[in-house]
């Protein structure tokens, strides 16, 4: 009977790899192989190079302050915001949005944060008379500018004519979109005292009302303008 010439399962591997030795067997038992060691050494070298690059970057960036550049953050920094005609000192983190600063730091909760991504305009305020989404502007970028909120439209506790018209015509339901709607319509009336309904539609095109009170918003705004024109 001829001898079994079937190759050993490891014979092909042994022909391509280094011969097994007592030293390599001992390393395998300890969970470390020659190939694994070399791979680990390569990663370590790459990591070392990366760290050296980071240190070099930090060394280059260090002179920024000495060149007159003011670095802010990441902690709170003192700033002064001009809101509704008053200078308001606050301490905010540079990442704070204008909507957050108004509501949280200044307690002006008339400005609503609804979507918090600039798609519903519920947080609309005036930024130098221009209606903007305050959730999409950093509060620190408002320094040196004039901000007007829904609270700023009322005078001495008396609602503005537009605010009163919204109440009269029940141009609100849940109320979340209402401050933004009022601010957009008020901005329209500031620039165009005699708008048409189409003008009002265009002015609030970015304001979403999930309750569907648009017709009453048109009516209230046009009444204040003294106009009922459709075109």
56: containing domain: 11-67
Q: Is residue 1 assigned to a domain? A: no
Q: Is residue 231 assigned to a domain? A: no
Residues lower than pLDDT 70 in the chain: 1-66, 72-73, 227-231
Please report, for residues 29, 39, 110, 123, 221, the alpha-carbon distance to residue 97 in angstroms, rounded to integers and kept in the order given: 58, 47, 15, 11, 29
Q: Is residue 32 assigned to a domain? A: yes
Q: Domain holding 154: CATH number?
A: 3.10.20.30
DSSP structure class, residue 103? I
Of 67, 87, 109, which marks where a domain is finished? 67
187 and 146 assigned to the same domain: yes
154 and 45 assigned to the same domain: no
What is the reported pLDDT for 74? Answer: 82
Question: What is the pTM for the complete model shown?
Answer: 0.69
pLDDT in tens, 25-70: 555 556 666 666 555 666 566 565 555 665 555 555 555 556 777 7
Of 67, 85, 103, which marks where a domain is finished? 67
Give the whole-number percent of the chain exceeding pLDDT 90.
Answer: 64
What is the reported pLDDT for 66? Answer: 65
What is the reported pLDDT for 14? Answer: 46
DSSP letters for 200-231 = HHHHTTT---TT--HHHHHHHHHHHHT-----
Q: Is residue 72 assigned to a domain? A: no
137 and 54 assigned to the same domain: no
217 and 109 assigned to the same domain: yes
Of 67, 86, 111, which marks where a domain is finished? 67
Q: Is residue 4 assigned to a domain? A: no
155: exposed, middle or buried (Cβ count in 10 Å: 0-12, 13-18, 19+) = exposed
99 and 205 assigned to the same domain: yes
Q: Is residue 3 assigned to a domain? A: no
Residue given tokens 């106009």 in the structure block: 227
């Amino acid at each position: 009977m001829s001898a079994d010439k079937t190759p050993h399962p490891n014979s092909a591997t042994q022909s391509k790899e280094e011969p097994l030795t007592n030293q390599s067997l001992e390393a395998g038992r300890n969970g470390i192989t020659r190939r694994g060691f070399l791979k680990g050494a390569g990663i370590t070298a790459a990591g070392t190079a990366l760290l050296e690059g980071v240190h070099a970057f930090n060394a280059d960036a260090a002179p920024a302050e000495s060149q007159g550049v003011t670095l802010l953050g990441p902690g709170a920094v003192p700033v002064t915001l001009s809101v509704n005609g008053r200078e308001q000192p606050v301490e905010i983190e540079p990442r704070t949005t204008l909507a957050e600063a108004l509501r949280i730091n200044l307690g002006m909760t008339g400005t609503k944060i609804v979507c918090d991504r600039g798609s519903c305009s519920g947080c609309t305020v005036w930024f130098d008379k221009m209606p903007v989404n305050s959730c999409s502007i950093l509060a620190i970028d408002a320094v040196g500018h004039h901000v007007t909120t829904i609270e700023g439209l009322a005078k001495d506790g008396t609602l503005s004519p537009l605010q009163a018209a919204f109440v009269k015509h029940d141009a609100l339901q849940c109320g979340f979109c209402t401050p933004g709607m009022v601010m957009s319509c008020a901005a329209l009336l500031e620039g165009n005292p005699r708008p048409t309904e189409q003008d009002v539609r265009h002015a609030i095109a970015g304001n979403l009302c999930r309750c569907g009170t648009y017709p009453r918003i048109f009516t209230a705004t046009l009444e204040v303008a003294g106009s009922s024109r459709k075109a």
